[in-house]
Structure formats: C-alpha cells, structure tokens
A and B are shown apart, each in its own frame.
Chain A
Amino acid sequence: MTTMQASNQTPRWERLRSYLSRSGSLYLMLIPAIIFLAIFHYYPMYGVVIAFQKFNPGLGFDKSPWVGWYNFEYLFAIPDLWDILRNTLVIAISKIVLLQVAALVLALALNEVRSIFFKRAIQITIYLPHFLSWVVLGGILIDMLGSRGLMSSIFRSFGFDPIMFLGSNETFVPTLVITNLWKEVGWSTIIFLAALTGIDPTLHEAAAIDGASRWQRILNVNIPGIASTIILITCLNLGGILNAGFEQILTLYSPAVYQTGDILDTYVYRAGLISAQYSLAGAIGLLKSVMGLILVVTAYWLADKFSGYRIY
C-alpha cells in the first residue's frame, strides 16, 4: 500500500516540478502586472463601497459609516442626475454619428485620390490634431473663438456680430461636436481606408467595363465592400455612448453652459474633487461604471455576432 502511494505520488511531484521548470517563469513575468493591477485597478474597485457610505477620508474605505442606498435615493430625487445623463447622451451620440459619417465620406474621397504624394500630404495634415492634447487644442479654440480671435474677425468682416460659441447654451454643444470632429475625423478615416484597400480591384474593373461611373462605383462597389467595417464600428461605438469627452469639456466649459454641457464625468469631478462630496460623486461614478461595463460588453458581443470581431 505504502509503496503504491509513493509510486503514485512521485510521478505527480515529478510532473509538477518539470512543469514549473518549463513554465514557472511565465508566472514570474506576470507578477508585476498582477500587483500593479491589484493596487491601481482592483483596490479602487473595492473603493466603490464609498457609494454606500458617508465616506470620511480619515476613516478610509473600511471604517466609514454605512448608509445603505441613501446616496442613490438622494441622487434619484434631485434633477441633476437626469440633466447630466441627458447631456452626456446627447453630446456623445451627436459626436459619434457626425464623426463616423464624416470619416466615411472623407475616407471614400481620399481613396479616389491617385497621386500618392497628394494623398500623403492630406493625411499627414488631417491626422495632426489627433496627436495634440485637449489643453493645446482648447487653448487654441479659446483664443480663436474669443472676442479678439479669428472667428470674431471673420464675423465682423461680413458685418455680423461675433458669436461667443463657448459662452451660450445654444452654441456650446454644436461647438463641442464640431471641434471633436476637427480633432478626430482624420484619424477615424484610417480604419475605413484600411478596409478600402482590401476591396478586390477586379470588382472595380468589372464595373468599369459595364460602364459604371466613378460615383456608381463608389456607391455600388466601395460602400458594400466596407459594409462589414461600418457595421463593426457602429457596434463598437455603442460602448462609448457614456463618454462625452471629459477632457474636452473640462477644458472648454464654464458655469454659463452647465445647463447643456455638464456631463457625468465633469459632475463627478466637481462634486468629488472640488466640493469633497466623495460619497455622492462615488455613487454617480459607480452608476456610470456599471452602465459602461454593460454597454462595452454588449458592444463587443454585437461586434462578435455581426462581424466576427474579437479583441483576442
């Protein structure tokens, strides 16, 4: 009996030892990431308990008094949450729709350019704003849209009164949408351009022989040819409808436009880090994180279902 056990155990130990000598270093390599993710991602996830507490920084996550759903009951009772949720969705969805339509049109137009030099020159120019921060672009916009800026000069030279684009609730959201387009539209063409290069050239040749014009080929060869990419991008965008552009809005907004421009992220920032209402801000943040998780998972699921897209 004892000899049987020993003979059973030795190979198992041997197997484990040989497995560890082969693969042990793989675990070693992951240790730094496991630790850093634990500290800076998972510990803050545990920190969402502040949404159910009256959080006191002196007492920390563990000892602050619990208040149950009080913070959420308070939030659902005041109008702020619904206003900022509406603003967030309006801004984010307007941005996504306009950006993707414009990027598609721009990519189709760029794809028709035969001169490589001209194409490269246009690309290098329109990609540039993507690489600049919202502070740099915001600084430029604040100057350009200000009373002494270029836009005001243009308005005056046509005999109109200058419009304070960043200062009124009527113009603030359109300004956000258009300036976001300026920053990202060039960059957003890349995925469509990559898809366009994948279209079989014989389809174009066949269409040309059949007498199709440039327009007809764009509409009937190029657009169907990249339809799967368009569907994929549409699915993935769903994951972003709660991200209305925190850094852009934080740079450009002011109390005068809170009515239309205040979003979940800016509200959390002000309530939490400016007014130190940690629990209230934490509760909104948790709501956003949970809704965001559902949206992103749904987006990836749809992308897999319709386009076979998987991130790994």
Chain B
Amino acid sequence: MIESRSWSNRLFNILNHSLLFLFAFLCVLPLWNVFSVSLSGRAAADGGFVSLFPVNFTIDNYTEIFRAGVVYQAFWISVQRTVIGTFLNLVLVVLTAYPLSKTVKEFKGRNALMGYVLFAMLFSGGLIPWFLVINQLGLINSLWALILPGIVPIWNVILMMNFFRDVPQELDEAAVIDGASHWQKLWYIYLPISIPALATITLFAAVGHWNSWFDGMVLMSNNTQYPLQTFLRTVVVEQNIQSLGIDMSVMEQISNRAVKAATIFVSTVPILLVYPFLQRYFITGIKLGSVKG
C-alpha cells in the first residue's frame, strides 16, 4: 500500500528505524565487547580498557587454549552427543508421531496412548527422582546419560503429529489401494513431504543438545567427561581456569580474563556457524507451532 509522504510519516520512519537499530546494537554489544576482550593483550584486558575493539590485538588467547588441548576432549564429547542424540531424537519423533497421527478407527487405543505420551510432558517426578533413576540405571559418567533421558522430545512429537495429520488423505488412500504398508507409507509418502518440518526439528534438537550443560554437570562426576558447555561453565562460572590445562608459565604472560572470553567463543563457534542456516527454518517452526484450527 502507498505510504503517505507527510513529514510526520517520515519522522515516524526515521525514529522507528533508529530505535530498532539502537536496540539491535545493544543486543550484540555484550557479545561484541567480550569478543574484543578475547582478542586483546594482557594489560588492556586486565586493566578493563577494552570496549568496542580489541586493544593490542593478539590471537594468543585462542592459540594457548588449543595448544593446551584439554578443550578438544570436551568438544568431542559434545559433538558425539549432538550427532547421536539428534539422530535418535529424530527417529523417535517420527516413530511416535506417525501412529498417533492416525484416527481411533484406524488405530485402536490411540487416545489412551496419546494420553500416556501427553501426561509424561505435563507432569514430572522432578529433579531428584530423575537423578536417582539415572544413577540407579548405572548411566552416571556415560555418554548415554546425556542422550537417553531426553530421547523422546514430546513437544516435537506433538508438532510432528500435527504435521502428519495435515498430509492430504488422498495420498494416503492412493497408497493403501496400491497395497502399501504403514512402513512404506511413512517412508515414501509422509517423510518426503515432511522434510521442512524434519529439518526444523533436527536443527532445534541439535542446538538443544549442543547448549545443554546442566545434565553434564550433575551426571558426569569429573570434568574430563564434561561436554563443552559444562566444561565452559567450570571455566567462566566457577572461574576454574586451570582446568584448561594451560601451563602456569604461559598463564603469567596472558590475561585470565581474555582467556575466559576466548573459551566462551570457542564453545559458541558451532552455533554461530549454523545460525545463518537456521534462519530459513524459523518460518516452518512458527507454522509447526502455530495455533491449530
């Protein structure tokens, strides 16, 4: 529609754009500032002289983290957890959502099973029984402790179920006439149609796995078994900078503060790399989560 060219309209536009720009700037300012700290020399970082740009630019803080190498182990645990965990999440989402998307006529007991799945989302035994059960199963200190307890992402099951229900019934019926089994229908009809939804669920599950740290903190008993975000927590929240394994003689040359800042960005790189690709899935995500009619 044609916007009026009046001065009040122009003033509105200028103000609106400026305020939005200022807000977006404030959103990235903390990230930007700490990133600059991670690239600054010792005196500048320790003295608190870094604002928008690195002072006495150096990449030593990063090279020392990688030379000490402890971080690789945590990185590898996070990669394994993210890849295996996301894959299993996806398998479970599809296998659970497909039968539940059927009507009671086609799938007797569907409503009772839906109730079983739904109640598990609405009510929980709480942190302590959750921990005790995982402990009792002997999963403590195992990678599976980070994957199995959350293997059925119930909310995503519901989203996927809603998506499957919107698959045109004509397609389903045509396949039945051709003699297709449920497995064949799932594989050849439902999954190809659902690729945007699956991609969205995959990306969000992967980000979730990568970002999890609390389970690593309580289910792993020493920090050589921590995933990266939990390891990062010992460095930046518990301020235990020795856990990075950098030589004492080297630590004297560089700034603790800058090393901590660099560790933050090392553990954020994978997210920053996939983030631009996530954008196009936001819209699918909204449609998936949107109000059902």
Contact = CB atoms under 8 A, between A and B. Distances in A.
Given A122-B21, A251-B237, A208 B282 contact: no
Interface of B: 1, 3-4, 8-9, 12-13, 16-17, 19-21, 23-24, 27-31, 33-34, 37, 45-51, 92, 95-96, 98-100, 102, 106-109, 113-114, 116-117, 120, 122-137, 148-152, 157-158, 161-162, 181-183, 186, 207, 210-214, 218, 229-230, 232-233, 235-237, 257, 260-261, 263-264, 267-268, 271, 275-276, 278-279, 282, 286, 290-293
Mostly, the A contact residues are helix
Nearest to B218: A273
Given A23-B108, A57-B132, A42 B137 contact: no
Contact of B275 (A44, A128, A297): A128
A42 to B, nearest CB: 7
B129 A44 contact: yes
Contacts of A273: 127-128, 131, 218
Contacts of A247: 213-214
B286 A311 contact: no
Contact of A132 (B29, B107, B211): B211
Interface string A105-138: 0100110111000100110111111011111101
Contacts of A312: 114, 158, 161-162, 292
Given A126-B23, A142-B237, A44 B125 contact: yes
A281 B125 CA distance: 12
Given A37-B120, A182-B27, A273-B218, A140 B264 contact: yes
A36 B158 contact: no
B158 A139 contact: no
Given A29-B182, A50-B128, A128-B275, A205 B1 contact: yes
A201 B128 contact: no
Interface string A22-44: 11011101101110110111111
B291 A36 contact: no
Contacts of B158: 311-312
Nearest to B263: A139
Interface string A143-178: 110011110110000000000000000000000000
A85 interface: no
B46 A148 contact: yes
A285 interface: yes
17 contacts: A26-B106, A29-B186, A34-B116, A45-B125, A106-B23, A113-B20, A118-B20, A121-B24, A132-B271, A133-B229, A142-B236, A144-B33, A148-B46, A150-B33, A213-B9, A285-B127, A311-B158
Given A33-B95, A45-B123, 7 more contacts: A23-B107, A39-B148, A40-B134, A47-B133, A131-B271, A186-B27, A214-B12
Contacts of B267: 136
Given A44-B125, A232-B291, A135 B130 contact: no
Contacts of A60: 136
A37 B132 contact: no
B286 A268 contact: no
Given A42-B120, A47-B132, A232-B291, A265 B237 contact: no
Contacts of A106: 20, 23
Given A30-B113, A112-B12, A208-B4, A126 B27 contact: yes
Contacts, number: 275
Interface of A: 19, 22-23, 25-27, 29-30, 32-34, 36-37, 39-48, 50, 57, 60-61, 106, 109-110, 112-114, 118, 121-122, 124-129, 131-136, 138-144, 147-150, 152-153, 182, 186, 190-191, 194, 201, 204-205, 208, 213-215, 232, 246-247, 250-251, 265, 268-269, 272-273, 278, 281-282, 285-286, 288-289, 292-293, 296-297, 307-312
Contacts of B233: 135, 251
A213 B189 CA distance: 50
A140 B31 contact: yes
B183 A289 contact: no
A131 B182 contact: no
Contacts of A40: 130, 133-134, 148-152
A191 B286 CA distance: 7
Contacts of B114: 312
Given A136-B268, A139-B236, A153-B51, A194 B132 contact: no
B108 to A, nearest CB: 7
Contacts of A42: 120
Contacts of B13: 112, 114
Contacts of B45: 148
A190 B213 contact: no
Nearest to A137: B30
B200 to A, nearest CB: 13
A27 B86 CA distance: 23
Contacts of B31: 128-129, 140
